[in-house]
């Protein structure tokens, strides 16, 4: 059985690799919102995300495929104003904030 410390270390390693990929690789084709872009999170996120922050502004950190591989360019990690980072918000739940 894997102990708690090992699980935390493994998770931190995956997180760190995701951050490295954001810096080292170009954004994938097909993502709607880009790193650093300001977005507004919808008020209604659907039943499965009732505990997520909604109706607030955030900055895009990246999309799943950019951070961890695969084809998912519609799931976003965000830095939510006054709250911190949270993932995975779906593209349909976000609206670009015009600056």
pLDDT digits 0-9 by tens, 41-56: 999 999 999 999 999 9
Q: In Å, how far are 4, 5, 7, 78 from 1, measured between CA atoms?
A: 10, 12, 10, 33
Grade residue 30 by pLDDT with cuts at 50, 70 and 90: very high
pLDDT for res 62 = 96
Asked whether residue 1 carries a pLDDT value surpassing 90, the answer given is: no
Q: How far apart are CA 45 and CA 39, in angstroms?
A: 14
CATH of the domain at 63: 2.30.30
Average pLDDT over residues 5-20: 91
- Provide the domain limits for residue 91: 4-96
pLDDT at 26: 93
Asked whether residue 95 carries a pLDDT value surpassing 90, the answer given is: yes
Q: What is the pLDDT of residue 79?
A: 97
* Whether pTM exceeds 0.75: yes
Number of structural domains, the chain?
A: 1
pLDDT at 98: 85
């Amino acid at each position: 059985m894997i102990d708690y410390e090992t699980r935390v270390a493994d998770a931190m390693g995956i997180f760190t690799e995701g951050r490295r990929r954001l810096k080292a690789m170009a954004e994938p084709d097909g993502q709607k919102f880009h790193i650093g872009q300001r977005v507004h999170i919808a008020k209604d996120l659907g039943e499965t995300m009732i505990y997520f922050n909604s109706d607030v502004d955030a900055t895009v950190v990246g999309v799943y495929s950019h951070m961890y591989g695969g084809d998912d360019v519609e799931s976003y990690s965000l830095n939510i104003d006054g709250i911190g980072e949270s993932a995975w918000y779906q593209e349909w739940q976000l609206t670009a904030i015009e600056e």
